[in-house]
Amino acid sequence: MARIRKIEIRNFRSIARLDWFPLSGINCLIGPGDSGKSTILDAIDFCLGARRNLTFCDDDFHGLRLDQPIQVSVTLGELDSQLRSMEAYGLYLRGFNFQSGVIEPEPGSGLDTVLTVELSVGDDLEPQWRLVSERAAALGQSRSLSWADRVRLAPTRLGQSGEHNLSWKRGSILNKVSEERASAASAIAQAARDARIAFGDKAKDQLGEALAAVQTTASRLGVPIAGQVQALLDAHGVNVTGGTISLHGGDGVPLRGLGLGSVRLLVAGLQRHVAGDAPMILIDELEHGLEPHRIIRLLTELGAKEQAPPLQAFVTSHSPVAVRELSIEQLHVVRPGPFGHTVSWMGRAGDVQGTVRKFPDALLARSVLVCEGASEVGLIRGLDLYRQATNRPSLTALGVALVDGGGDTTFARASAFQQMGYRTGVLRDSDIAVHGNLEAAFLQAGGKVFKWTDGHALEDELFMSLSVGGAKLLLERAIDLKEESVVSDHIRSVSQNAYQLETVRNVAAFGSLDAATRAMLGRASRTRKGWFKSVSAMEAVAQEIVAPDLHQTTGGQLRPTIDAIFAWIDHG
C-alpha cells in the first residue's frame, strides 16, 4: 500500500517552506519545542485525511500572509494496482527518482510510480484538493482522488485522545479492521429501553472479525480489558447509528474508560493489524500517557526493530526514552532556518548511535555544550543556578544541553553532535595536550572551543583567578568535602612538605596568597579523586563561591572564558 515519498509545505502556520523525503518506516521528529513538528503532522493529516469539511483561519497562514496561499503537497509511492490504474489516474501518474529525489512528469523505468495530492487554501479560507500533473494542466484538466481512495489512504491520527477510534465512527480505525458493518436500525426501539445487551448479542455476529482482532491485539499488548470485548450501544449516543456503536469490555464498561496510554497503545496495535490496507499512522507526542516500558512496547508495535517496516509512522516526541530506543535511521531533527524549515535525517551523521544512546536528552536541545568532564558540567550548572537567581533565563529555557565529554572522548562526542547538525561548543582543560586534528576539524566545521589559561585545568584556573577570599572559601569547602586530614596530606604530598595546610590557611586569613601557593593548591585539588571531581560538588562550588566572586577575579582566563561561554549560550 502507499507510502509517502515527499512532503512539500508552503506558508502553513510556523512553516514558510519545507521539502522533506521521509522513509518508509518510523519517522520520529525530534527537536526543541515550537520547531514545527506537530505542524508537519497536521499538514499530512489535512492533505490526506478523509474530510468533507476542513476549517481554516487567518492564523493558519505563515506570518498572517494571506496573499500567499497555503500549499501542502504529499507525493505517494508504492501504489497498489487501483491507484496505478490508467483508467482512473493515468494522466496524473508521475515518476519518483529515489537517487535524486526528482519527481518526473511521467512514470518510467527505474522510477517509482507516484501520485501527488495537493491541498491549497487561499484568502477565502476554502480548502481545495487536486492531483498534481503537468500533463493534465497542459490539457486543462483537473481532478482529485476519489472519495473511496481518500478513505483508504487516510492516515490514522493519534492525538491527545484516542476515543474516536474505539467506536465505528467515520474515519475510525475499526472501520478498517474489516468490511463488516452493524445495522442497528432494528434495535432502535429496543435501545430506547434496555437493548444494550440485546444489541450486543447481535453485534457479536455482525462484527465478529473486528472484535476478535481487538481481543487478540489487546491481549498481545497487555491492554487490560475485562473478559471478552463486546460491541454494545454507546450510552452517550443520541442516534443509534454506526457511530454510536463502540467497544465495551466483558463487564459492559466502554473501553473509552481505559487510560489514555492504553487507548493509544490499542489503536496503534490495530493500525498494525490493518497495515496492508491503511499503512500510515500519525502520533503526536507518542509518549503521552505511557510509562517508559509502554513507550518501548508502542515503538516495537510500530515496527521499530523490524527490517521490513509494517507501516509508515510519523511521530513526534520529547521523550529521551523514545530517542534512546530508536535507531539513528528513524530519527529526524526539525529545525527552522532563514530559508525555511529543514528535517535532517540522522542516518547521514555517520557512526553516532552510541552518542544518541548515551545522551538522548541532548538531542532534544537547540545547542550542545560538551564539557571535558564532570567538574566542568558541574561548573556550568552551578553558574546557571546563580544566573537564574538574578532573573536570567536558564540553560533549559535557552535550549542548551550539557554533555560530559569523558576526557579523551570530548572532541569525538562533540563532533558527533556537530555531524547531526547541532550547534556545538566544547569546554576543555588546557593542562594536557589535546587531539589537535580533531579540534582543528571541529573548529573548521563551525564549532566553538572554550578553554582555560595554557597549562591549567579547571581547578588550577579557580585557585589562580579567584580573589584571596574566594580561594580561601574554596579551600574550606574542600575540607568540608574531604576532611581536614585528607586535604592536609594532599598539600604536603604535592609540595614535598614545603607547605602545610595550617600555614596556608593563616596566610589566606591575612589576605595574601602568592602565585606559587595558588598553583600548589590547584595541583593538590586534582590529587587522586580530587576535591571537587563530581557534578554535585562543583555545582555547589560554582553557585556559592565562584559566581559571587567573579567580579573580583585577579586575572587569568576564568572570567573571560565564563563570559564567552554564556555569551555563546545567550545568543544561540
pLDDT of residue 333: 93
Please report, rounded to a whole number, the percentage of residues in the chain having pLDDT higher than 90.
60
Asked whether 227 and 211 are in contact (CB, 8 A), the reply is no
Residues 6+ apart with CB under 8 A from 390: none
User: Which of 49-53, 213-217, 275-279, 458-462 is the least confident region?
Assistant: 275-279
Confidence of residue 162 (pLDDT cuts 50, 70, 90): low
Asked whether 275 and 265 are in contact (CB, 8 A), the reply is no
Residues 6+ apart with CB under 8 A from 488: 500, 501, 502
Is the per-residue pLDDT at 456 higher than 90? Answer: yes
- The mean pLDDT of the chain is 88
Confidence of residue 309 (pLDDT cuts 50, 70, 90): confident
pLDDT of residue 408: 87
Mean pLDDT of 38-55: 92
Q: Of the candidates 201, 228, 214, which has an alpha carbon nearest to the alpha carbon of residue 174?
A: 214
- Predicted confidence (pLDDT) per residue in 8-24, tens digit: 999 999 999 999 999 99
pLDDT of residue 209: 87
| Single-letter residue type at 431 | D
pLDDT of residue 326: 95
Is the per-residue pLDDT at 173 higher than 80? Answer: no
Mean pLDDT of 66-94: 94
CA 128 to chain centre: 31
In three-state secondary structure terms, 15 is strand
Asked whether 290 and 258 are in contact (CB, 8 A), the reply is no
User: Which of 116-120, 256-260, 273-277 is the least confident region?
Assistant: 273-277
- What is the rounded CA–CA span in Å between residue 362 and residue 372? 16
pLDDT of residue 40: 97
In three-state secondary structure terms, 293 is helix
Asked whether 333 and 31 are in contact (CB, 8 A), the reply is yes
Higher pLDDT, 158 or 356: 356
Mean pLDDT of 452-469: 94
Grid coordinates representing 298 are: 508502542
Mean pLDDT of 173-179: 71
Is the per-residue pLDDT at 52 higher than 90? Answer: no
Is the per-residue pLDDT at 171 higher than 80? Answer: no
CA distances from 46 to 54, 157, 274, 501, 539 (A): 8, 11, 21, 72, 48
In three-state secondary structure terms, 404 is strand
- Locate all alpha helices (DSSP H) within 154-195, ordered by sequence: 174-177, 188-193
Grid coordinates representing 392 are: 536570567
Mean pLDDT of 131-143: 94
How many Cβ atoms are within 10 Å of 59's Cβ, its own excluded? 8
pLDDT of residue 64: 93
Is the per-residue pLDDT at 217 higher than 60? Answer: yes
Confidence of residue 193 (pLDDT cuts 50, 70, 90): very low
Please report, rounded to a whole number, the percentage of residues in the chain having pLDDT higher than 70.
91
451 — alpha (psi -120 to 50), left (phi > 0) or beta?
beta
How many Cβ atoms are within 10 Å of 357's Cβ, its own excluded? 14
Confidence of residue 268 (pLDDT cuts 50, 70, 90): confident
Higher pLDDT, 30 or 222: 30
Confidence of residue 254 (pLDDT cuts 50, 70, 90): confident
Confidence of residue 160 (pLDDT cuts 50, 70, 90): low
pLDDT of residue 191: 47
User: Which of 288-302, 368-382, 439-453 is the least confident region?
Assistant: 288-302
31 — alpha (psi -120 to 50), left (phi > 0) or beta?
left
Is the per-residue pLDDT at 184 higher than 60? Answer: no
